[in-house]
Amino acid sequence: MFDFFSKEYLLETEMRGDIAVRILRRIITIRETEEFIARKIESGDIRCPCHLAVGQEATPSVLAEFLNPEDRVYGTHRSHHQYLAVTDDVEGLLAEVLGKKNGCAKGMGGSQHLINIEKGFGGSVPIVGGTIPIACGAALAMKLKDNRSIAIPFFGDGATEEGVFHESLNLASVMKLPVCFIAENNLFASHLHILERQPETSLCRFAKAHLIENIQLDGNDVISLYDHLKQIIRYVRDERLPYFVEVMTYRWKGHVGYREDLDVGVKRKEDLSIWKTEKDPIGRLLSKYESLKDTYENFIREVHKRIEKAWEFAKQSDYADKDFLLSCVYCED
């Protein structure tokens, strides 16, 4: 195991207040945008399938502190939170879920195909595990160019059941690629608990099998995430080696859509109420930083106004026109 307590990589114990404010702003932007989208799905205004990430906001919100402009973050079918944390593009996300041409994928992708290269989001795709090898390819390019950039694929616990996940870890290990794998272990893949699919809940064993440094973190504890991700990202960037981070978290909504999925035959009711209270990343951050409570109220008001404005922008945007759409399709004469 890489030693984070060694002299070179001493953990910092205090996250400064201004950093906490920035992270809180990202978390609130994600939480409120996701809840807004949930209401619009329920009302029928949004018809694109959306896998919401309420409850999973903390990890990407902290990660965004340590990114360089040339780094590339990749997502999955559930990526609104990663997209917003990296890009802060509420407008592009809302227009995209409405299929409008001002959307971040020009209205061609919807919720599951988000992209914003200029701001460091390399893309998300709904094929489970699909972006893990893409991130390895990006990391190989970064290595060949000999720059200091890194690639960061996010994926769920379900993706570790895909062959391509293991091939990617092997490749990253053997080729020494600057990839920070981030597994969001929310304990479910659709409606199946991890213990119905795997012999144990922890995913770090896969990294160990490929001799990749790894750690399991509490994905809802902002302060611990800050301390660890700071060192881990520095490690991947400086050493040009892969690292595997497993973050334990939980989604408040069901697999897809606005409902909580308490009635689909899975044990969620008691667990969900704990994750929504004592394990809520926002409540935990505010309890550590008393002074953030006023800031929190102000952010909520500010973010609501921003979301309403972004929604109007999205609604008023046009759909992509036919000529443009056809120009994106490959066909030989």
The footprint of ligand TPP (CB under 6 A) covers 51, 77-78, 126-128, 156-159, 186, 188-190, 255
Residue 186 contacts Mg ion per CB under 5 A: yes
Could you tell me what percentage of the chain is helix, strand and coil, using 3-state DSSP and rounding each to the nearest 5? Answer: 50, 10, 40
Q: Of 188 and 243, which has the nearer Cβ to ligand TPP?
A: 188
Do 165 and 154 meet the contact criterion of CB atoms below 8 Å apart?
no
Burial class (CB in 10 A: 0-12, 13-18, 19+), 58: buried
Question: What would the two tokens of residue 122 be?
Answer: 């390399």
Q: Of 206 and 311, which has the nearer Cβ to ligand TPP?
A: 206
Q: Of 22 and 193, which has the nearer Cβ to ligand TPP?
A: 193
| CB 73 to ligand TPP: min, Å | 15
Q: Of 156 and 178, which has the nearer Cβ to Mg ion?
A: 156
Which of the stretches 4-12, 45-53, 114-122, 178-186 binds Mg ion when contact is defined by CB under 5 A? 178-186
Instruction: Choose from Mg ion, ligand TPP, none: what does 127 bind? Cβ within 5-8 Å by kind.
Output: ligand TPP
| CB 143 to ligand TPP: min, Å | 27
Instruction: Choose from Mg ion, ligand TPP, none: what does 172 bind? Cβ within 5-8 Å by kind.
Output: none
Binding mask 133-172 for Mg ion (x = CB under 5 A): -----------------------xx---------------
Q: How many CA atoms lie within 13 A of 109 on its CB side?
A: 24
SS3 188: strand
User: According to CB under 5 A, which residues from 187 to 246 bind Mg ion?
Assistant: 188
Question: What would the two tokens of residue 293 be?
Answer: 């409570």
Q: Which residue is nearest to ligand TPP (CB)?
A: 156
Do 111 and 51 meet the contact criterion of CB atoms below 8 Å apart?
yes
137 DSSP 8-state letter: H
User: In degrees rounded to 5, what are phi and psi of residue 250?
Assistant: -160, 140
Q: How far, CA to CA in Å, does 25 sit from each of 18, 194, 250?
A: 11, 32, 20
| CB 186 to Mg ion: min, Å | 4
Question: What would the two tokens of residue 267 be?
Answer: 């044990």
Q: How many CA atoms lie within 13 A of 103 on its CB side?
A: 25
Q: List b or e across 62-99, with b for residues whose CB sees 16 or more CB atoms inside 10 angstroms.
A: bbbbbbeeebbbbbbbbbbbbbbbbbbbbbbbbbbbbb
| CB 203 to ligand TPP: min, Å | 10
User: In degrees rounded to 5, what are phi and psi of residue 58?
Assistant: -65, -45
Q: Of 92 and 156, which has the nearer Cβ to Mg ion?
A: 156
Q: Of 22 and 276, which has the nearer Cβ to ligand TPP?
A: 276
| CB 222 to Mg ion: min, Å | 21
Q: Of 62 and 159, which has the nearer Cβ to ligand TPP?
A: 159
Q: Of 20 and 97, which has the nearer Cβ to ligand TPP?
A: 97
Instruction: Choose from Mg ion, ligand TPP, none: what does 190 bind? Cβ within 5-8 Å by kind.
Output: ligand TPP
| CB 202 to ligand TPP: min, Å | 14
What is the contact surface with Mg ion in residues (CB under 5 A)?
156-157, 186, 188
